[in-house]
Copies of this chain bind each other. A is one copy, B any other.
Amino acid sequence: MPDPNGAMVWCPFPDRESAREVAGILLDEKLIACANIIGQIEAIFEWNGDRTSADEVAVLFKTSESRSEDLIQRLGDCHPYDTPAIFGWSCGQMHPATMAWLLQQTGSETE
């Protein structure tokens, strides 16, 4: 069995309150070990053909690779936007102590 990987998911929210609320749900359901809420960010994008920008907060969710698919699905369900921007990637270089903590917090040790 190859060493397990971590995973990170980056997802902006309209405000800090909704970010904290969803992070709490995902922690309750052991889909993440930790959430980092980052600054106020400025998003620039197009919506229905119009260039627009929005002030948001970004959240970096941390989990095990084996939990990442369930995390992404659940995050999509409980996010306040209809089409949230949810980007996830594997982390193949993990500190062993961090990986052990991650597996324990997300109940993924036995996988």
Contacts and interface: CB of A to CB of B under 8 A. Distances in A.
B37 A87 contact: no
A110 interface: no
Interface in A1-22: 6-10, 12, 16, 20
Contact of A101 (B62, B83, B91): B83
A45 to B, nearest CB: 4
Contacts of A56: 36
Interface string A67-97: 0110011011000000111111111111101
A32 B42 CA distance: 15
A69 B24 CA distance: 32
A49 to B, nearest CB: 11
A103 to B, nearest CB: 13
Given A12-B36, A51-B24, A87-B62, A7 B93 contact: yes
